[in-house]
Amino acid sequence: MRAALLTCVLLASVLQLSAQQNSTTRATVSGVLDGMDSASRAEREKAFGEAGELLEADTTSAKDADRLQLGIIQLLIRENREALKASELPSSNSASEEEQGQGEDESDYYSVLVGFVANLNDVRAVPALLGAANTGGIATRGIARFGKRALDPTLVQVGSANADLAEGALWVIRDMLEFRLVSDPESHLRIKDALRAALRSSEFGVRVSAMGAIEYLDDREEFVPLLKEVAQHDPVKLAGQRPDDGGDNGEFYPARFDARRLLRKIANHEQPRIDRGLPASEYQPVKP
């Protein structure tokens, strides 16, 4: 029921995006595909809304619907690249109210696009969703549901030099483990190797994200030596009053704090919480 509701919400958002463009002529499939490849972000957004209308139309053939779906997946890949480039630009606190409003509109468009692609349940969308995995659970579950078929590109991204991309891939691994979507021994070994490497990463966020996934391993006890090393020596300290378990003389080292918490769970044989309030349809693997 919840999955169906999400579909309706996403579709309504797409149609609203299209309606805002005040189009006077009905779009063609070829025209929409060209629009989604435009250098103009406004044109790409407009074409995305038109693609949603065409996918809803009874007159759109199965072949054209597939072309549109693939075009939307390619659009997300493009917007991921644009978002990555924008994140690498120097930040400025002097943006005008108009520019801030445009940023909010762009964020809404991007969020709707990520949700739409995740809801396609199309394995071709895995690379696109991996590029957006750091946006949250809609993207990560959209990948994780493909299980082993999504594992190779996910593990490659765990090793990315870009910390945001690596962290997003680690949250996909967490979902795969939490919802038991990858269970064969070979894949399990590969996941553990990737988590060991991530726990030794020079990037703070990658180390913390790795611990989030390790918690859901059945054989997480073998990570105890590495976790103890993090708990004792992780160098990142945050200022201000923070949670303190007495391990750092009143100072707050977040990775150390998380590592000690995970070590206590392992020592106490405390099982991680599996159900995050999601219906079964949200985390069951997609059949080949």
Per-residue confidence (pLDDT) for residue 1, from 0 to 100: 47
Amino acid at position 251, single letter: E
Cβ neighbors of 24 (< 8 A, separation 6 or more) are: none
Q: List the domain boundaries for the chain.
A: 1-86+102-120, 124-288
pTM of the entire predicted model: 0.83
> Cα–Cα distance between 31 and 43 in angstroms, integer?
11
Q: Tell me: the pLDDT tens digits for 203-223?
A: 999 999 999 999 999 999 999
Q: What is the pLDDT of residue 234?
A: 96
Q: Which residues pair with 238 in a beta bridge?
A: 252
For residue 64, give the 3-state DSSP assignment. Answer: helix
In this structure, the number of other CB atoms found within 10 A of the CB of residue 19 comes to 11
Q: What is the DSSP letter of 252?
A: B
Q: Give how far the C-alpha of residue 170 lies from the chain's centroid of Cα atoms, to the nearest Å.
A: 9
Mean pLDDT by groups of 10 residues along the chain of 288 residues: 50 53 63 97 96 95 97 98 81 46 68 97 98 96 97 98 97 96 95 98 97 96 98 90 71 92 96 59 49
Q: Which pLDDT score, from 0 to 100, does residue 196 have?
A: 98
CATH architecture of 124-288: Alpha Horseshoe (1.25)
Give per-residue pLDDT as tens, 69-89: 999 999 999 999 998 888 776
Q: CB 68: neighbour CB atoms within 10 A?
A: 21
Helices (H), 132-253: 137-144, 151-158, 163-178, 185-199, 204-214, 224-233
pLDDT at position 239 is: 82
